[in-house]
Amino acid sequence: MIRIAIAGYGNLGRGCELALQKNPDMKLTAVFSRRDPSSVKTIDPQIPVYRLEDAASHRDEVDVLIICGGSATDLPTMTPMLARDFNVIDSFDTHAAIPTHFENVDTAAKESGHLAMISVGWDPGMFSIARLYGLSILPDGKDYTFWGRGVSQGHSDAIRRIPGVVDARQYTVPVEDALARVRAGEMPTLTTREKHTRECYVVAEDGADKALIEQTIKTMPNYFADYDTAVYFITMEELREKHMGIPHGGVVIRSGKTGKDDENTHVVEYKLALDSNPEFTASVLVAFARACARMQKRGVVGCKTVFDVAPIDLAPISAEEARAHLL
Amino acid sequence: MIRIAIAGYGNLGRGCELALQKNPDMKLTAVFSRRDPSSVKTIDPQIPVYRLEDAASHRDEVDVLIICGGSATDLPTMTPMLARDFNVIDSFDTHAAIPTHFENVDTAAKESGHLAMISVGWDPGMFSIARLYGLSILPDGKDYTFWGRGVSQGHSDAIRRIPGVVDARQYTVPVEDALARVRAGEMPTLTTREKHTRECYVVAEDGADKALIEQTIKTMPNYFADYDTAVYFITMEELREKHMGIPHGGVVIRSGKTGKDDENTHVVEYKLALDSNPEFTASVLVAFARACARMQKRGVVGCKTVFDVAPIDLAPISAEEARAHLL
C-alpha cells in the first residue's frame, strides 16, 4: 500500500483525495494545510489534517507527498523545501520557469536523498509527453498545441481585477479552421490570433461603464490584446447557472513527413476533453505518485519529470497483465 | 552515432532506411536479407547488404538490429535467434502470442546479455501506450480502440486467396456513430459489428462468378462474417489508380469518471492518420532503436516493450532541451 499525503487542500488537493479513492493500492494518510486544520473539511472525515509547518514530523507516515499549491508563489518555495523531508510531486505549470524550478528541486532532493517529480498534470504533463513522442517519431515535422474549450483561471482573475467587475469567467476557444488545417497535415504557420479566441462572461456592478470594461478587457496586454476577444455581460444568476464548472482540454497535434521524396504525411493527435480540470490534473498526479513510489524504491533520487517515467511505472496492473491485455 | 542494421528489406525495412535518414544521430551500417544480396536495392546504394545467415559475423558493426519480418512465421524464430548476437527490436503484432514471444526473446536476450524490444509500432506500440496511460490516469473507465480507415494486409490477402480473384484491397472503416458515442463519454458496450465495417475492392477474373466471390467474402469466418462488409468489383486499372497506397490509422479513446458522485467525465483520445502504414511503423521502430541503444549502455538486458521505455530515451534532443522547450 502506497501512503500518500497532500499538501494544500483546495480544488486540486480535493481532486487528489477523490482520485486516490479510485486506486486501491494507494491510501491517503495525511493532509497538510496552511489553514487551521479544524477548518479543513476532507471528503473522508477520518483523514488526519495537520499544519503544514508540522509536516516534517509526519514524514515516516508518507511515501509520496503531492504538493497542491499555486505555481506563481507557492510551489517555487514549497517544493524544494518539502523535498528535504519527502518524496514529492507537484504540478508546477509556469513553462518558462521550469528549468529554474527543476534545478532548485533537484538540488534539494539530491541533498536529502529523495525523489521529486515536477510539472505533472496535463500541460505541462500529458501534453508534454505527446509533444515528445511526436518529435521523436516524426522528427521532420511540426507540433501544435491548442487549448480549450475551457476555463482559464488566470484570464478570469485578470477580468475580475478590472474596476466595476463583480465576477467573470473566461473561456479559451481553439479556432476550428486552424485546427482543421493542422489535422489535414498542412503544417501551417499560425499567429496567436489565428489559433485561439477568448470568450468572456462578465457580471458588472450596477451602473458600471460596460463599454469601458469591454475596452479594458480587449486591450489588456498579454492576456487579451493579441486575441479576438468576445465580451458578454450576464447576470450573476446566469453565471451561477451556466458557468460554475471548470471544464478544459485541448489537443496536441504532431504532423510529419516520411518517404523518399517526403511524399507521405502522418498526423498524430492527442486530445483531452475534461469535465473538471482540477480532478483530471489530480488523477494524473496520483498516477505519477505511484511511479514516484516505485522509482524511489529502486533508488532513483533527484528531480524528474513526466519524460523520465516509463509508462509501466504508472500502471495499476502488473507488467505481465499489461503485456497480455493492453499491448 | 548509433549504428543500426536492418534484417529483412521489404516495405518495413525500406521504411526504416528512410526513417534513419531523418535522424542524424543514427546511421544504417548494414542490411541482412534472405534474398541474394545483389538483388536487394537499398535507397542508398552504399549500404552493404549481407546474407542473413552471415549476420553474426557483423555484430561488432551494429548497436541495434531492427528485425523487419512477418509476425506469423518470421519473428517467432528470428527475434530470439538474433537476440543471441545483437540488441534487437521487432514489431511482432500477433497480440495473443505476445506473452509467449516475450518469454522466448527474454530468455535468449538474458543468456547473451543483450537488450531486446518487441512489439514496437503503432498497434501494438503507440496505441498500447495510449491504453496504458488511459488506464493509469482514469482507472474507473473504459477504453476503445478503433482502426482505420486503412488497408488491412491480412484481409486483402484473404480475399486474394479466393478462386477467381486477381487482386484485392480491403479497408477497415470505423463506424462513425460508434466513434461519436465513445467521444461523447457514453462508454457504450459495442459489438464487433457495431465498431467497424469492411470495404473490399476486388478485381475478378474474366467470367468469374462475382456473386459467389461476394458471398465467399461476406461469410468468411473470423475475417468478415462478424462485420457488415461491402464488396465492390473494380478493374485492375482502377485498383492501380486509386488503391496502391498503404494508408492506415485509428484511435484509442479512454473515457473515465471522477468526482464525489462520479459526476465528471473525461475523454482522452489518441489518434493516428497515416499516409503510409509501414513508413510510420518504421519511424516508431527507429525512435525505439535509439532508446534501445541508450538503455543497453546503462546495462539493461532482457526483453522489454514500449511500456518499459521512458519517453526521454526516445528523444533526439537532450533532457535539458526537452524540459525547456517541450515540457
Question: What's residue B286's pLDDT?
Answer: 98
Looking at the structure, tell me whether residues B156 and B116 fall in a common domain. Answer: no
pLDDT band at B231 (very low <50, low <70, confident <90, very high): very high
What's the confidence (pLDDT) of residue B323?
A: 98
pLDDT the model gives residue B126:
98
Shortest CA gap B200–chain A (Å): 23
Q: What's CA A242's distance to the chain center, in Å?
A: 23
Task: Check A264 against B279: CB less than 8 A apart.
Answer: yes
For residue A310, give Cα distances in angstroms to A22, A119, A292, B129, B291.
Answer: 21, 16, 11, 10, 12
Place of cell 513553462: A95
pLDDT average, residue stretch B122-151: 98
Closest to A202 in 3D by CA, of A228, A164, A248, A174: A164
Which residue of chain B is at minimal alpha-carbon distance from A284?
A: B137
Instruction: Tell me if B239 sits within 8 A of B169, measured CB to CB.
Output: yes
Across the interface, of A264, A275, A284, the residue whose CB is closest to B264 is A275
Indicate yes or no: CB of A276 within 8 angstroms of CB of B260: no
pLDDT of A288: 98
How does pLDDT run across A254-291, given as a tens digit for each residue? 999 999 999 999 999 999 999 999 999 999 999 999 99
In angstroms, the separation between the Cα of residue A305 and the nearest Cα of chain B is 8
Q: What local confidence, expressed as pLDDT, does residue B251 receive?
A: 98
- Asked if A279 and B273 come within 8 Å (Cβ–Cβ), the reply is no
Reported as a single tens digit per residue, the pLDDT across A121-146 is: 999 999 999 999 999 999 999 999 99
End position of a domain, from candidates B226, B243, B260: B243
CA dihedral A74, A79, A80, A84 (to 10 degrees): 130
pLDDT at A71: 92
* Distance to chain B for A280, nearest Cα, Å: 7
Question: Nearest by CB to A98, which of B272, B290, B327?
Answer: B327
List Cβ neighbours of A37 (8 Å cut-off, separation of 6 or more). Answer: A49, A50, A51
pLDDT of B90-136, one tens digit each? 999 999 999 999 999 999 999 999 999 999 999 999 999 999 999 99
What CATH number did the domain enclosing A309 receive? Answer: 3.40.50.720
- Asked if A136 lies within 8 A of B322 by C-beta distance, the reply is no
Order of strands across the sheet that contains A196-204: A150-151, A165-174, A196-204, A228-233
Which three three-digit cell numbers place residue A161?
A: 481585477
Find the mean pLDDT for residues A25-32: 98
- Residue A192: all three cell numbers together: 496567436
Q: What is the pLDDT of residue A243?
A: 97
Tell me the nearest-neighbour CA distance from B310 into chain A, angstroms.
4
Strands B150-151 and B165-174: antiparallel
pLDDT of A22 reads 98
Domain boundary among B223, B243, B263: B243
**What torsion do the CA atoms of A194, A149, A181, B317 make, to the nearest 10 degrees?**
90
Q: Which of A139, A283, A310 sits opposite B307 (nearest CB)?
A: A310
Q: Is B126 in contact with A133 (Cβ distance < 8 A)?
A: yes
* A309: closest chain B residue by CA: B310
As a whole number of angstroms, the distance between CA A303 and CA A314 comes to 17
Question: Crossing angle for the helix pair A126-137 and B126-137, nearest 10 degrees?
Answer: 170
Calculate mean pLDDT across residues A205-216. Answer: 97
Indicate if A80 and A169 belong to the same structural domain.
Answer: no
Q: Do B132 and A315 touch (CB under 8 A)?
A: yes
* Contacting residues of B for A16, CB less than 8 Å apart: none
ipTM of the modeled complex = 0.96
| Pair B13, B119 in one domain | yes
Q: Which residues in A lie closer than 8 A to residue B139 (C-beta atoms)?
A: 22-23, 316
Do A173 and A84 share a structural domain? Answer: no
Does any domain span residue B252?
A: no
Say whether B323 and A98 touch across the interface (CB within 8 A).
yes
- Note whether residue B175 is domain-resident: yes
What's the pTM value of the predicted model, to 2 decimals? Answer: 0.97
A155-207 pLDDT, tens digit each:
999 999 999 999 999 999 999 999 999 999 999 999 999 999 999 999 999 99
What pLDDT score was predicted for residue B225?
95
Which residues share a beta bridge with A266? A256, B274
- Banded pLDDT at A241 (limits 50, 70, 90): very high
Q: Does one domain contain both A37 and A79?
A: yes
Q: Which of A15, A258, A307 sits opposite B283 (nearest CB)?
A: A258
Q: How far is A287 from chain B (nearest CA, A)?
A: 6
Residue of A nearest to B312 (CA): A307
Chosen from B187, B255, B258 to mutate, greatest number of chain A CBs within 10 A: B258
pLDDT of amino acid B168? 97
Which residue spans within B43-155 are E strands per DSSP? 49-51, 64-67, 88-90, 115-117, 141-147, 150-151
| Residues B119, B156 within the same domain | no
Q: What does the block give as the cell for A318?
A: 502488473
Q: How confident is the model at residue B63 (pLDDT cuts 50, 70, 90)?
A: very high
Closest CA to B52 of B88, B78, B14: B78
Query: Contact B310/A312, CB-based, under 8 Å?
Result: no
User: Contact A274/B266, CB-based, under 8 Å?
Assistant: yes
In a shared domain, residues B14 and B98 = yes
B65 band by pLDDT with thresholds 50, 70 and 90: very high
Whether B260 is in a domain gets the answer no
pLDDT of residue A45: 97
With CB atoms and an 8 Å threshold, state whether B327 touches A305.
yes
For chain B, what is the domain count?
2
Does residue B184 sit in the same domain as residue B297? no
Measured between beta carbons, the chain B residues lying within 8 angstroms of A314 are 132-133, 136-137
B115 and B196 together in one domain: no
Among chain B residues, CA nearest to A279 = B258
B276/A137 Cβ within 8 A: no
| Predicted confidence (pLDDT) per residue in B263-291, tens digit | 999 999 999 999 999 999 999 999 999 99
Q: Is residue B140 part of a domain?
A: no
The C-alpha of B162 sits at a distance from chain A's nearest C-alpha, in angstroms, of 32
Angle between helices A126-137 and B277-297 (to 10 degrees): 100
Of B95, B135, B280, the CB nearest to A315: B135
Torsion on CA atoms B73, B75, B80, B82, rounded to nearest 10: 110
Beta strands, E only, chain B: 2-7, 26-33, 49-51, 64-67, 88-90, 115-117, 141-147, 150-151, 165-174, 196-204, 228-233, 248-258, 264-274, 302-304
Confidence of residue B147 (pLDDT cuts 50, 70, 90): very high
pLDDT (0 to 100) of residue B239: 97
> Are B8 and B108 within one domain?
yes
Would residue B261 count as lying in a domain? no
Residue among B129, B275, B319 minimizing CB distance to A311: B129
Q: A205 vs chain B: nearest CA distance in angstroms?
A: 32
Please state, rounded to an integer, the average pLDDT across all residues of chain B. Answer: 97
- Residues in B closer than 8 angstroms to A139, CB to CB, are 22-23, 316
DSSP-derived 3-state class of residue B27? strand
Same domain, B15 and B118: yes
- Note whether B132 contacts A322, CB cutoff 8 Å: yes
Q: Give the range of the structural domain holding residue A316, as residue numbers without chain letter.
A: 2-123+278-325
**pLDDT value, residue B316:** 98
A258 domain-assigned: no
Written as nine digits, the cell of B138 is 482514469
Residue of B181, B184, B183, B204 lying closest to B194 (CA atoms): B181
Tell me the mean pLDDT in the region B12-24: 98
- My answer on whether A119 and A8 are in the same domain is yes
Burial class (CB in 10 A: 0-12, 13-18, 19+), A48: middle
Q: What whole-number distance in Å separates Cα of residue B121 and Cα of residue B129? A: 11
Mean pLDDT over each residue of chain A, to the nearest integer = 97
* Minimum-distance CB partner of A119 among B276, B279, B327: B327
Interface A-B: count of C-beta contacts within 8 A: 222
Q: Cell 511526436 appears where?
A: A134
Q: Do B317 and A135 touch (CB under 8 A)?
A: yes
pLDDT above 70: percentage of residues in chain A: 100
Contact flag A308-B308 (C-beta cutoff 8 Å): no
Q: Tens of pLDDT along A98-108?
A: 999 999 999 99
pLDDT of residue B25: 98
In this complex, do A314 and B272 lie within 8 Å of one another by their Cβ atoms? no
- For residue A266, give the C-alpha cell: 502522418
CB within 8 Å: A268 and B272:
yes
Q: Which residues of B touch A19 (CB under 8 A)?
A: 258
Q: Would A139 be classed as within a structural domain? A: no
pLDDT of residue B103: 98
**Interface contact A268-B264, CB threshold 8 A:** no
CATH number of residue A232's parent domain: 3.30.360.10
B146 in a domain, yes or no?
A: no
